[in-house]
Amino acid sequence: MHWCGVRRVAAMVAFACVAFACPGTVGAASIPDNLSSSLSYKVIGTITPSCAVSQPTSDVQVVGLQNPSSDAVQSTDTDLTFTVSCTAPVKVSMSSAKGGLKTDGTTSDRDFASTVDYKATLDMPGASDALECRSDQMVNGGAGCTKQLPNPAFEGDGRIRIHTAAASDLLLAGTYNDTVTLTISPQLAGDGQGEGNE
Amino acid sequence: MKKLIFAVAAASTMLATPALADTNWQGKTYGQDAWGVYQVSSNVTSFCKFGTDNSGGEGVNGTSDTSFMGGAQEADGRFSLNIQNTSDDTVQAANATYNIAYAVCNSPFTMQLSSTNGGLQSSQTTSDGAFIENVPYDVKFTFDGNHANSKSSDIAGGFQTVTSVDEARAGAASVQVLVNPRDKLLLEGSYSDTLQARLSPNLGA
């Protein structure tokens, strides 16, 4: 057996051969000629693209949902405003906790609506109507209401416009409410841009 | 060794499945998400309303119409009952119905009735018990399948809750007044009363 005869063994094995006499070896041990007195490392740092959103208020009233003459649902537009800053293309999604403006009140009379559907339209700075969804599409964390935007970056004011359409349904006494969540995810890597509501 | 190779191959298949199911997003990763969360709400107050499309009708020995106070616009009206049996001058049966085409209560509510006189009160008096000074009547107040029936004597002196309904309702309503025959003589003059039917929302319900 010739330990030092194996050229591809690790350096520690080679040093072992120097410290202890190798059977069958005659004279001084040879030092590999490929050793280096310095080491170099390639260090790569990645700065994660990010987005920031600030909103002037998180509690928004829908004014005039009830037609004072007919007591039915009437057309309204309510803006959920925000300021956004993103350093990369983004994927946006809008989610609804209840799938519409919903009240806890109930009745077996179908003349009344316990849920008022709405349409949500997202305007990003430089990208009007970037995403539009019905409230019933926005449930399940907004999985049915998401889109990748091609803009390289965003900076400025935006809004989600909540639109209720006039309907013949009567409204129950109480509070109709929903929680709308806007999620903006900066893209780190990948090819191409997504299309439409995923 | 065959088992190990087989296991690795199976693991590779399982890992590949999710990527194949979502190819549009394959290869993309995302950094720090920005969130905006909004509570959106609208308050609707409680109410009960009668509509304006109301009308009287013809019953047995009686009619009703909208010619009183606010008329049809206010679901007000008038009952004209012929309660005198012309053969023996006792009280005869009479009734009429006032129709309210549309009414709404957008919360749980009560159906209430009130009679000023507790019956049809004569403008004349007598100590003779053969005559009747106050002719009682029955009231049948209906609203979208709910009923509030009462005797006039039970609703005298202010509103009485006859029926409670634990949900919002919308639909047609009506008020019927019925006089039953009685073996009593009628005094000369008019017999009258003011009857009020009310839908009252349960505040805080």
Domain ranges of chain B: 48-201
Q: Tell me which CATH code domain B48-201 carries.
A: 2.60.120
Considering the domain boundaries, does residue A24 fall inside one?
A: yes
Nearest-CA neighbor of A109 among B49, B108, B121, B9?
B108
Q: What order of strands is seen across the sheet that includes strand B160-165?
A: B160-165, B109-115, B195-201
- As a whole number, the mean pLDDT across chain A is 83
Q: Which of B63, B70, B182 is nearest to B133 (CA)?
A: B182
Q: Could you tell me if A59 and A4 lie in one domain?
A: no
* Rounded-to-integer distance, Cα A55 and Cα B39, Å: 12
Q: ipTM beyond 0.90? A: no
* Number of domains making up chain A: 2
Give the DSSP letter of residue A153: -
Whether A196 maps to a domain, the answer reads: no
The answer to whether residue A193 sits within a structural domain is: no
* Claim to verify: residue A102 and residue A4 sit in the same structural domain: no
CA distance A190 to chain B (A): 4
A28 and A88 part of one domain: no
pLDDT digits (tens, 9 = 90+) for A12-39: 444 444 444 445 445 556 777 777 788 8
**Residue A93 and residue A24 share a domain:** no
Range of the domain at A123: 51-186
Measure in Å the smallest separation between the Cα of B53 and chain A Cα atoms.
Answer: 13
Q: What CATH number has the domain bearing residue A181?
A: 2.60.40
Question: Is the residue at A83 inside a domain?
Answer: yes
What's the CA gap between A134 and A173, in Å, rounded? 24
B contacts of A67 (beta carbons < 8 Å) = none
Write out pLDDT tens, residues A176-196.
Answer: 999 999 999 988 765 444 444
Quick one: pLDDT band at residue B31, thresholds 50, 70, 90?
A: low
- Share in percent of chain B as helix, strand, coil (round to 5): 15, 50, 35
DSSP assignment, residue A30? P
Q: What are the chain A neighbours of B103 within 8 Å (beta carbons)?
A: none
Q: By mean pLDDT, which of A39-53, B8-22, B114-128, B134-148 is the weakest?
A: B8-22
Q: Which residues of A69-91 are buried (b: 16+ CB within 10 A; e: fewer)?
A: eebbbbebebebbbebbbbbbbb
pLDDT in tens, A68-95: 888 999 999 999 999 999 988 999 999 9
Residue among A92, A142, A184, A159 nearest B33 (CA):
A184
